[in-house]
Amino acid sequence: MYIRNALILESGPLADLEIEFDFHDEGTPKPTVIVGRNGAGKSNFLSFVTDALIEIAAKKFTDVAPHHINGSHQWHRKIGGATIRSGSAFELAVLKLAEGEAVHTYLSKGGQLDRAEVQAPLSAYAEAPDWSTEGSVKSVSGPEASIEEIFRRDCYVSFPTGRSEAPYWTSEIENQDNATFSDRFQNLLRKPILAQSKRRHRQFAAHDGIGGKLPSGRQPRAPHDFPKWVL
């Protein structure tokens, strides 16, 4: 699954950001480099990408975000208040991600905003969920049937700027030799999208045979099996 378009308005240091990502003719994405001074909003943009991945995965899996007391899941990225750009009445982020014909659209809106006020920039997001003028809204639209296949086949990992860095010698790999049959009933993805330390990074690398000898009889994974998103 690749991000196709991004629209962020009045969020923190970002007043108006619109990106249409470039792709090769065969459908693979061209590299994208985001450059800016400290405080320009680079991490703010990446936090929306991470939040979109979590919200999409959470529609199918129960272990990608902590549970909330009301039965829903907790939000990785809060909406409104300090996240709204100073002097603005609202904050809006819309991201479109696609895997083949399956399109998933992420929406995060805080403050007071009528949809008609941003109708022009929303023209690229026909599938964007609707929202009420008042209050905070976070929603994802798209075919839920494709979510399990997308996240079980691929690996999406975000290493945030505030992650902790443990010494390399503390790294341990959790070997699960015993068969487990709980996924079908608990809908656990067992691949965290938000990784706070290098330990998780090393786990991905070790399990995939990166930078070391593969166990006897283990075949290297195909390139498309490796993480598509490492932020």
> Which own/partner contact pairs does 87-90 have at CB distance under 8 Å and 24+ positions apart?
88/10, 89/113, 90/9, 90/10
Q: pTM for the full model?
A: 0.73
- Are 69 and 181 in the same domain? no
Shared domain check, 57 and 131? yes
Beta strands in 57-131 (DSSP E): 90-99, 102-111
pLDDT (tens place) for every residue of the chain, 231 residues total? 999 999 999 999 999 999 999 999 998 999 999 999 988 999 999 999 999 999 999 999 988 888 877 778 888 888 878 889 999 999 999 999 999 889 999 999 999 999 999 999 998 898 888 899 998 999 999 999 899 999 999 888 887 766 555 555 555 545 444 433 333 445 677 777 877 665 555 555 544 444 444 455 555 555 555 556 555
Q: According to the model, what pLDDT value does residue 231 have?
A: 59
Tokens matching residue 21: 């990502």
**Do residue 93 and residue 117 come from a single domain?**
yes
**Residue 184 CA: distances (Å) to CA of 62, 114, 181, 188:** 11, 41, 7, 8
* CATH classification at residue 33: 3.40.50
Are 135 and 159 contained in the same domain? no
Which residues span the domain enclosing 46? 2-146
Based on the fold, state whether residues 111 and 212 are members of the same structural domain. no
Among 146, 165, 193, where does a domain finish? 146
The pair phi, psi for residue 146, each rounded to 5°, is -90, -10
Question: Based on the structure, what is the number of domains in the chain?
Answer: 2
Q: Where among 146, 162, 185 does a domain terminate?
A: 146
Last residue of a domain, one of 117, 146, 175: 146
Q: How far apart are CA 214 and CA 182, in angstroms?
A: 27
